[in-house]
Structure 1
Amino acid sequence: MSVEDYAYLEKKALYLGAVDAKVIPADQVFVEDRVVLKCRAGCVGYGKKLTCPPHVPTPAEFRKILGEYSYAMLVKFRSPASASDDVVKSIYKYWLDPAAPKDKKAEATKFWADYFEYSKDILTIMLELEKAAFNGGNSFAIAFVNGSCRLCEKCSVETGICLHPNRARIPEHAVGINMKKTAEKAGMGLKFPVQGHPEPMAILLID
């Protein structure tokens, strides 16, 4: 098999609503330990979801898993979420700080509400692409999503049993994938900080 053999997946991604999609060799997906450090040090959801660290494969474990795959497809989306430049630059501060100015807090809250709502669409699309790859003969195809799982209001992390195992998927950064570096290598660079509408990216591993 070659990259060209998966052109049908790229076309399907665009048909389903992605703004760009590209199949690359799996060895061009970069996995780094420091990515998960950002989960531990900067995410309010750390340890609270079964699809997030420390409940998912470590970067070291994932490198071995990734080595068993031949290709990956990067899928870029454009979220409807938006906010003024000054709010975006301090989006977490305005969202979480109780002392934040009310107008900026409201703007940040709407930004995240719109972003999280659209993430549900991303999940649905990635699951459709996973299914298409599976039906195309790639029995170990698996989708990763951008951002933590939002299927349940509260994850059943205490029991360790996911209520939606057929739909819940792991965020790519949770296993150490450096999407910024991977996207740049693939010619699909991501903009940081966000300018205008965010362009979240997800990834599908193809065996």
Structure 2
Amino acid sequence: MTQGRTPHAFASLCDAARSLGATNVKVISVSDIVVENRVTLKCRAGCIGYGKKLTCPPFVPTPDEFRKILTEYKYALLVKFISPANAEADVICSIYRYWLDPDAPPDKKGAATRFWKDHFNGTGAFAPMMLELERTAFNAGNPFALAFVNGSCRLCEICNVKGGICIHPAQARIPEHAVGVNMVKTAERAEMPIRFPVQGHPELMALLLID
């Protein structure tokens, strides 16, 4: 039974998150999760992966649908990880552009390519960590525990969008921004602020809906 639980009841989950590599973790009320329609607008207008993955818009719950889902939960775990990638503050804001631009100056493109290689290689374990936390929460009596991850799914080189069915449903999870979660504001409410604009090593946040 989970009725009447308080945040202190999830202390073991916080310990598990730290043991898996989280640099910070906190139990928060789902009322502190900020969901905004403009977040998914950024997916539609600014992401090269839009419509290419079943874990991203337009194949996932809309912000309005996610707001309704949140009313069925009481607590969530907010988890912070640190990317091993590093970049100077005056460079990182342009890294994405340099990475995609075939005509970018070679030194800029090289720096961008190194950054994203370090980032993707180093953060590849974060989604499995959140899955392990989800399993831990499930086994602790939270049957509807559900992890959300930072960044789009990397399980397949090409997602089975045409087929319409994920071929790794036990492993694939939705990025929190894909359902409209403003992680910057959510982290601020939890007193776990993210440095933004990004400086040095990016700080990544993930959510685990608990109960």
Q: TM-score range by the shorter chain?
A: over 0.9
Within the alignment, does 1:67 sit opposite 2:44 as a pair?
no
Q: Percent identity?
A: 65
Pairing partner for 1:145 from 144, 149, 152: 149
Structure 1 CA distance, aligned partners of 2:30 and 2:47? 27
2:177 corresponds to: 173
Structure 1 CA distance, aligned partners of 2:197 and 2:95? 10
Asked if structure 1 preserves the Cα contact closer than 8 Å seen for 2:28 and 2:76, the reply is: yes
Structure 2 CA distance, aligned partners of 1:95 and 1:37? 22
| DSSP 3-state at the match of 1:14 | helix
| DSSP 3-state at the match of 1:61 | helix
Greater Cα shift, 116-125 or 97-106: 116-125
Pairing partner for 1:136 from 134, 140, 146: 140
Within the alignment, does 1:102 sit opposite 2:106 as a pair?
yes
Structure 1 CA distance, aligned partners of 2:174 and 2:123? 13
Question: Stretches of 4+ moved more than 3 A in 1?
Answer: none
Letter in 2 for 1:145: V
2:6 corresponds to: 2
Structure 1 CA distance, aligned partners of 2:192 and 2:150? 15
Structure 2 CA distance, aligned partners of 1:39 and 1:182? 18
Letter in 2 for 1:162: C
User: How far has the Cα of 1:115 moved from its partner?
Assistant: 1.5
Report the number of matched residues: 207
User: How far has the Cα of 1:93 moved from its partner?
Assistant: 1.4
Pairing partner for 1:191 from 195, 198, 202: 195
1:56 corresponds to: 60
| DSSP 3-state at the match of 2:191 | coil
Within the alignment, does 1:90 sit opposite 2:98 as a pair?
no
Letter in 2 for 1:61: E
| DSSP 3-state at the match of 1:143 | strand
The answer for unaligned runs of 5 or more in structure 2 is none
Asked if structure 2 preserves the Cα contact closer than 8 Å seen for 1:87 and 1:107, the reply is: no
1:21 corresponds to: 25
User: How far has the Cα of 1:147 moved from its partner?
Assistant: 0.5
| DSSP 3-state at the match of 1:23 | strand
The TM-score, its normalising length taken from structure 1, stands at 0.98
| DSSP 3-state at the match of 2:209 | strand
Letter in 2 for 1:143: A
The TM-score, its normalising length taken from structure 2, stands at 0.96
Asked if structure 1 preserves the Cα contact closer than 8 Å seen for 2:39 and 2:177, the reply is: yes
User: How far has the Cα of 1:118 moved from its partner?
Assistant: 2.7
1:47 corresponds to: 51
User: How far has the Cα of 1:161 moved from its partner?
Assistant: 1.2
Structure 2 CA distance, aligned partners of 1:120 and 1:50? 19
